[in-house]
């Protein structure tokens, strides 16, 4: 077996001759060791798979070449993905993190074909345990359970493809959940950007048209420009939104979404609060609802705070959707699964 090169070094060219492999480099370059946790998670999972492959005593040449391919090509590429710099575009689409986990999943599935018969039952139990978090009454899962039900008639020729089928289906479902979380995160960012744009546009318009007041100025000692009053209303609208953002961001399961959904939920609330506060005071000022309004600065700011908190009536649907994704990815037994942190990019 070759000697592992230094951490962060460029992996050597693949070598598939006999039982030779070159994929045992591990760790991250010094410049990346303090970055996203998903990189370390990929490296830990990659090393675990390397250990599984290295301990196998393979006698025939095809199996040896298969192992060399898994290590030199797939696991090596997963390590490269974990070390790659993530640009904004790659972060948006999850390019490197999906690339790394696709390689790890493929190695995990192909390793089943190299296992000795004596380890198949244990690997089948592991596959069923993993599938219980991602599959709901899937036919492949039931077929594998049936094969394990009677140990005296276990057919290894049927057991291997059954294990691979369960793992592949569970991995596909996990990938879809990760994609849903990433797409929701991206939509929340876009929605936050739109809200922030209209907030800035409203403030800028009031600054340009000083004689046209969007909001009725209070009757007390407020002597500043109308745009400054509008800014105060928006600020206190954000304060009100903060009251609802804190609970949403605190309800994060132990195996929380690796795509930082609570952070984006809170950001959306904070940028939507000012708009809701302005619309609320406009509605009261126009006497559309025929309810009283406040003519003092303190009263208006308190109303802005209340309206800012009222944006929860809209964003609670986002909270529900995010909660569904977070809950679906949480292991009720121990709060984690092998690729639970894959979305922590």
In the chain, where the domains are located:
30-178, 180-343
CA distance 66 to 21: 10
Q: Kindly state the average pLDDT of the residues 213-224.
A: 76
Q: Kindly state the average pLDDT of the residues 142-160.
A: 80
Q: Which structure tokens are listed for 117?
A: 């018969």
Residue 17 or residue 7, greater confidence: 17
* pLDDT above 90: percentage of residues in the chain: 38
Q: Does residue 234 contact residue 281 with C-beta atoms inside 8 Å?
A: no
Look at residue 222 in the predicted model and tell me its pLDDT: 72
Summarize pLDDT for 57-95 with one digit per residue, the tens.
998 999 999 999 999 999 999 999 988 888 899 989 999
Summarize pLDDT for 172-210 with one digit per residue, the tens.
998 988 888 899 999 999 999 999 999 999 999 998 987
**Per-residue confidence at 126, pLDDT binned at 50, 70, 90?**
very high
Residue 258 or residue 61, greater confidence: 61
Q: Kindly state the average pLDDT of the residues 141-165.
A: 83
Q: Kindly state the average pLDDT of the residues 238-264.
A: 75
Residue 96 or residue 214, greater confidence: 96
Q: Kindly state the average pLDDT of the residues 19-36.
A: 59
pLDDT at residue 170 tops 80 = yes
Burial of 283 (0-12, 13-18, 19+ CB in 10 A): middle
pTM of the model: 0.78
Highest mean pLDDT among 12-21, 113-122, 291-300: 113-122
Highest mean pLDDT among 46-55, 205-214, 244-253: 46-55
CA distance 125 to 132: 11
Q: Three-state secondary structure along 173-222? A: HHHHHHHHHHHHHHHHHHHHHHHHHHHHHHHHHHHHCCCCCCCCCCCCCC
């Amino acid at each position: 077996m070759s000697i592992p090169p230094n951490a962060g070094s460029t992996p050597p060219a693949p070598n598939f001759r006999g039982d030779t492999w070159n994929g045992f480099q591990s760790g991250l370059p010094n410049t990346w060791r303090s970055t996203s946790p998903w990189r370390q998670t990929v490296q830990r999972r990659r090393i675990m798979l390397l250990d599984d492959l290295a301990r196998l005593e393979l006698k025939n040449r095809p199996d040896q070449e298969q192992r060399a391919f898994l290590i030199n090509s797939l696991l090596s590429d997963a390590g490269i993905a974990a070390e790659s710099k993530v640009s904004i575009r790659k972060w948006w689409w999850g390019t490197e993190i999906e690339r790394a986990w696709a390689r790890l999943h493929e190695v995990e599935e192909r390793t089943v074909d190299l296992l000795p018969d004596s380890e198949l039952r244990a690997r089948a139990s592991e596959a069923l345990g993993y599938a219980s978090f991602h599959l709901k009454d899937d036919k492949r899962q039931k077929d594998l359970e049936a094969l394990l039900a009677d140990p005296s008639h276990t057919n290894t020729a049927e057991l291997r493809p059954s294990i691979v089928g369960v793992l592949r289906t569970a991995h596909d479902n996990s990938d879809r959940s990760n994609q849903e979380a990433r797409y929701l995160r991206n939509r929340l960012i876009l929605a936050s950007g739109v809200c922030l744009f209209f907030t800035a546009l409203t403030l800028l318009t009031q600054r340009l048209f000083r004689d046209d007041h969007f909001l009725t100025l209070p009757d007390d000692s407020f002597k500043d420009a109308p745009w400054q009053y509008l800014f105060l209303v928006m600020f206190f609208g954000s304060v009100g939104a903060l009251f609802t953002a804190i609970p949403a961001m605190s309800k994060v399961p132990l195996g929380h979404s690796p795509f930082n959904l609570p952070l984006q939920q809170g950001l959306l609330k904070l940028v939507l609060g000012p708009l809701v506060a302005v619309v609320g005071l406009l509605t009261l000022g126009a006497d559309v609802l025929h309810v009283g309004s406040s003519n003092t600065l303190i009263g208006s700011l308190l109303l802005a705070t209340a309206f800012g908190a009222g944006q929860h009536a809209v964003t609670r649907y986002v909270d529900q959707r995010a909660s569904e994704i977070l809950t679906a990815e949480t292991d009720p037994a121990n709060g984690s699964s092998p690729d639970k942190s894959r979305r922590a990019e």
